[in-house]
Amino acid sequence: MSSVPFYDPAKSYLDNFEHGPFGLFADTTPTSQTSEPKHEFLGHAVYAPFGIPAGPLINGKYVKAALDKGFDIPVYKTVRTRRYECHPWPNVLAVKVEGDLATDRTLVANHDYAEPLSITNSFGVPSFDPEFWQPDMADAAAYARPGQVVVGSFQGTLPENGSVASYLEDFKLGARLVRETGVKIIEVNLSCPNEGTANLLCFDIQRSREVVEAIKGEIGSVPLVIKMAYYKDEDRLRAFLREVGGVVDGIAAINTISAEILDEDGKQALPGEGRLRSGVCGHAVKWAGVVMASRLARLREELGMKFEIVGVGGAGSAAAFDEYRRAGADAVMSATSAMWNPLLAQEIKEHAHEL
């Protein structure tokens, strides 16, 4: 594991945004490919169905660095239709988890980023104005070489008046703005708090359908991926797919698992209102990501659907990549491990059995 992550938790979000990426990601020497792309992701040829999900690639510099390091499907961090401020620092902390992380846990956080690595991240899905991110995303998308494809991620923002119509219009506007950048694949985040009647939009099945139908009406033939959370109940997941699975082109799962995060003195570790609970990602949530990939693959066949599956969560090694692929994932992405190991994509290309 590298001692210098490409996103530095010791620095503020703005400091990382302006001066990063750090460590090996600062080296802009592209990795070389000696063969033709053997895989396909949503209609695009890729050398490896492996990338970095929405999260740590906070602007075009980070996306370009990911492409240079051989992450062939990088996702430009989720944007909004207007500026949205980041939560106060710290935004990333290490958490210690014995075994797999179940839901409704309390964890102790610190700055000891040791293997097996799990972290909590709390940013609040910040965004700059489209005047910044549209040309930046367009530039990053155009940087992809043959065998690579950039995904643009966005989400809607609840309007002050609480109107459903205004909410849907914000998603439609966001989809239109992202499409205008020329990205070949668009992802909408349905898995972060503050959207939908059930806290996470992906748990509000009917509203999720309204949202994805509105987005598809804006982006046409551009493939649409939805990012969703872990579903405990398979019957509810089946109901979700009956409504949404025939509309979207891909499903990325999972995002994080929420836990109560305390410091070593038993106090709230992340300052500010509403931050006692925070999402946990990395090694401790791999079980949930693999379970979701397996369920989605099984239900896809049962329901006769064609969406592609992106497995996310704790994919920090070639063995984990293989596990996701065996579970049914068409592509795999790593955020936490990739942050500390910028050579992860190259290692997977060298050692994964599924390539």
pLDDT in tens, 173-189: 999 999 999 999 999 99
pLDDT score at 31: 84
Q: What is the β-pairing status of strands 277-282 and 118-121?
A: antiparallel
Average pLDDT of the chain? Answer: 94
Residues 6+ apart with CB under 8 A from 351: 318
Mean pLDDT of 156-161: 84
- Structure-model confidence comparison of residues 197 and 243, the more confident one: 243
Sorting pLDDT into bands at 50, 70 and 90, what band is 193?
low
Strands (E), 61-174: 73-79, 92-95, 106-110, 118-121, 151-154
Top-ranked range on mean pLDDT: pick from 112-126, 193-207, 286-300:
286-300
User: Which range (173-182, 186-195, 240-249) has the least confidence?
Assistant: 186-195
DSSP letter string, 284-338: GGHHHHHHHHHHHHHHHHHHT---EEEEESS--SHHHHHHHHHHT-SEEE-SHHH
pLDDT score at 2: 57
Tally of CB atoms within 10 A around 132: 14
Residues 6+ apart with CB under 8 A from 4: 22, 23, 24
Sorting pLDDT into bands at 50, 70 and 90, what band is 195?
very low
Residues 6+ apart with CB under 8 A from 194: 158
Model confidence, pTM: 0.96
User: Which range (104-113, 195-204, 209-218) has the least confidence?
Assistant: 195-204
Sorting pLDDT into bands at 50, 70 and 90, what band is 90?
very high
pLDDT score at 159: 83
Judged against a pLDDT cut of 80, whether residue 58 lies above it is answered with yes
DSSP label at residue 195? S
Sorting pLDDT into bands at 50, 70 and 90, what band is 12?
very high
pLDDT score at 166: 92
Domains contained in the chain, CATH given? 13-351 (3.20.20.70)
Query: Measured between alpha carbons, how far is 323 from 105 in angstroms, rounded to an integer?
Result: 26
Mean pLDDT of 295-309: 98
Quick one: what percent of the chain has pLDDT higher than 90?
Answer: 85
Nearest-5° Cα angle at 128, 271 to 61: 100
pLDDT score at 232: 92
Residues 6+ apart with CB under 8 A from 128: 79, 83
**Integer Rg of the chain from CA:** 19
Quick one: what percent of the chain has pLDDT higher than 70?
Answer: 97
Judged against a pLDDT cut of 60, whether residue 204 lies above it is answered with yes
Residues 6+ apart with CB under 8 A from 93: 9, 109, 110, 111, 119, 120, 261, 269, 270
Mean pLDDT of 192-212: 77
Query: Measured between alpha carbons, how far is 259 from 256 in angstroms, rounded to an integer?
Result: 9
Query: Measured between alpha carbons, how far is 164 from 29 in angstroms, rounded to an integer?
Result: 47
pLDDT score at 197: 41
Give, in order, the Cα–Cα distances in Å from 344 to each of 43, 92, 333. 24, 20, 11
